[in-house]
Amino acid sequence: MPRSKRDKKISLTKTKKKGMELKEKLYTDVRKCVDEYAHIFTFSVQNMRNNKLKDVRQEWRGSRFFFGKNKVMSLALGKTVSDEYAKNLHKISKKLHGQMGLLFTNEPEEKVLEWFSEYKEPDYARSGNKATQTVHIEAGPMGVFSHSMEPQLRQLGLTTSLQKGVVTLLSDYKVCEKDDVLTPEQARILKLFGHQMATFHLTMDCMWSKDTCKLQPCPKQHQEKAISKSIYIKAKQKEDGEDFSVVPEVDNDDEADMNTDEEGDDDNDDES
């Protein structure tokens, strides 16, 4: 059937597209920052959260962050030796992919690396994140939840019921296994029970200095803290003050180490 000439799409708004204008402004701002600041850091973001990145920007008001539009930033810096804006900036362009950004600053290298190595903000894991530990919920009354929450908890897969108006978990429930990719339901349960499994932090990858015009890698900053492989979460009553208590499950390897230490202490006592 031939297409009707009357079938024309007419825009009801006079809004102009700002895509090209924003790209040109970003291009200009990046080159301006190369002239104004002494150091350029490339960084990667783990567990991106817009509100937390905004807090970092506020903390570093004297510096400039650029995150997103990697292709435009690469064009501004230069992709090859022939079109780079300053010496060796094309090497930075090659690193701009995925969750990478640029930090322009006049602060010393030591201060930047020290601050970002210590900055970590816990947050709730989202669907698609990998579970960092096995999480169980202990059976029993859960007075922190109102009775209207019981159908929602049951819909998420928990075996709950109302007993004398109190939401009660009838049996222990395993939320997730370590290294599992979290589903939306699992992420929702972890948030309801107040368990933050993700950590927002920025990792400095490499640094370019105007004095040397050399790109050098940054030393490794983040040292992951040891966490229990498996934990149990128990909901408390409203009058207890805290909503939930977290009890780490003792691994067999840990028990063996504890027994070995105790035997060593006994031997020392006998010698003395």
Cα separation of 127 and 186, whole Å? Answer: 8
Q: Could you tell me the two tokens for 90?
A: 């094309």
- Four-point Cα dihedral 253, 255, 261, 265, nearest 10: -160
Q: Could you tell me the two tokens for 265?
A: 């202490």
Q: How much is the pLDDT for 20? A: 84
Question: Is the pLDDT at 268 greater than 50, yes or no?
Answer: no
Q: How much is the pLDDT for 237? A: 54
- Looking at the chain, the domain(s) classified CATH 3.30.70.1730 span 23-124+199-217
Pick the CATH number of 23-124+199-217 from 3.40.1350.10, 3.30.420.40, 3.30.1360.120, 3.30.70.1730: 3.30.70.1730
Question: Is the pLDDT at 271 greater than 50, yes or no?
Answer: no
Q: What is the pLDDT of the chain when averaged over all its residues?
A: 83
Of 108, 139, 142, whose CA–CA distance to 38 is shortest? 108
Question: Is the pLDDT at 262 greater than 60, yes or no?
Answer: no
Q: How much is the pLDDT for 220? A: 78
Cα separation of 201 and 117, whole Å? Answer: 8
Most confident among 34-43, 131-140, 211-220 (mean pLDDT): 34-43
H-only helix segments in the chain: 19-36, 50-59, 70-77, 89-93, 109-118, 150-155, 184-192, 252-271
Question: Is the pLDDT at 261 greater than 60, yes or no?
Answer: no
Question: Is the pLDDT at 251 greater than 90, yes or no?
Answer: no
- Residue 219's pLDDT band, with cuts at 50, 70 and 90, is confident
Question: Is the pLDDT at 13 greater than 70, yes or no?
Answer: no
What is the tens place of the pLDDT at every residue in 149-158?
A: 999 999 999 9
Question: Is the pLDDT at 135 greater than 70, yes or no?
Answer: yes
- Residue 254's pLDDT band, with cuts at 50, 70 and 90, is very low
Question: Is the pLDDT at 10 greater than 80, yes or no?
Answer: no
Of 219, 218, 200, 199, whose CA–CA distance to 42 is shortest? 218
The CATH number that domain 134-195+228-256 falls under is 3.90.105.20
Pick the more confident residue, 113 or 259. Answer: 113
How far CA 168 is from CA of 142, 144, 191, 247, in Å, comes to 6, 10, 18, 19
CB 167 within 8 A of CB 141: yes
Q: Which residue has the tokens 């002239």?
A: 35
Q: Tell me whether strands 198-209 and 121-123 are parallel, antiparallel or unpaired.
A: antiparallel
- Looking at the chain, the domain(s) classified CATH 3.90.105.20 span 134-195+228-256
Question: Is the pLDDT at 258 greater than 50, yes or no?
Answer: no
What is the tens place of the pLDDT at every residue in 85-116?
A: 999 999 999 999 988 999 999 999 999 999 99
CB 96 within 8 A of CB 201: no
- Residue 260's pLDDT band, with cuts at 50, 70 and 90, is very low
Q: Which helix (H) or strand (E) holds 176?
A: strand 173-176
Stretch 235-263: mean pLDDT, rounded? 52
Q: Please enumerate in sequence order all residues whose Cβ is within 8 A of that of 203, keeping only pairs 6 or more positions apart, or say none.
A: 43, 44, 45, 46, 116, 221, 222
Question: Is the pLDDT at 53 greater than 80, yes or no?
Answer: yes
Cα separation of 201 and 120, whole Å? Answer: 5
Q: Please enumerate in sequence order all residues whose Cβ is within 8 A of that of 259, keeping only pairs 6 or more positions apart, or say none.
A: none
DSSP codes of every residue in 13-51: --PPP-HHHHHHHHHHHHHHHHHH-SEEEEEEEES--HH
Left (φ > 0), alpha (ψ -120 to 50) or beta: where does 161 sit? beta
Q: How much is the pLDDT for 68? A: 85
Pick the more confident residue, 223 or 40. Answer: 40
